[in-house]
Amino acid sequence: MEHRPITAIFPGSFDPITNGHLDVIRRGNKLFDNLVIAVGQNPGKDEFFSKDERVEMIRELVTDLPRVTVESYDCLTVKFAEHKKAQVMLRGMRNLSDVQYEFQLAMTNRTVAGIETVFVMTSEEYGYVNSTMVRQLALLGGDVSKLIPNSVYKRLRQNIHKNHKDIIPDVPE
């Protein structure tokens, strides 16, 4: 039986990418022949890093994963998946509160675009981490260094010093 290569996309805003995202990427890399990290925008959220910055940060983090690529997109996720000829959408699940939303999204994507969704549970230590929480904690002076990769943490601190000093005047070093 001939093996047909399977391409998956892992969509998200990744603003910023967290250790939980990287956990899902590394495990997804073992499951699929090709994995495209699809960096999009969430119109309901204010952007902390530009899309180009997010793509650049993620590319730096996945250089050791030869079958993983990182691209940005500006259309419906299912349209991007179709453009990439992806058969699967990879989604990370952190906890029970993700289930209802992700289930609804997966059913919609399958009905509208015929794309299947594969869920990967994040490791226990990342079950509570999300990008919004990381941004909020960082802006309030909290230590998020254990929640995001070190290179992202450095850029996050630079961003806060440069663009948000009026909000948090004493950002810890």
> What is the rounded distance in angstroms from the CA atom of residue 136 to the CA atom of residue 39?
20
Element counts in the chain: helices (H) and strands (E): 6, 5
Q: Active-site residues: which are they?
A: 21, 45, 94, 131
Tokens of 38: 């699809």
> What is the rounded distance in angstroms from the CA atom of residue 126 to the CA atom of residue 130?
8
Please check whether residue 120 is in contact with residue 28, taking contact to mean a CB–CB distance below 8 angstroms.
yes
Tokens of 95: 């906890």
Instruction: Sheet with 68-72: list strands edge to edge.
Output: 68-72, 34-39, 7-12, 88-93, 116-121
Please check whether residue 55 is in contact with residue 17, taking contact to mean a CB–CB distance below 8 angstroms.
no
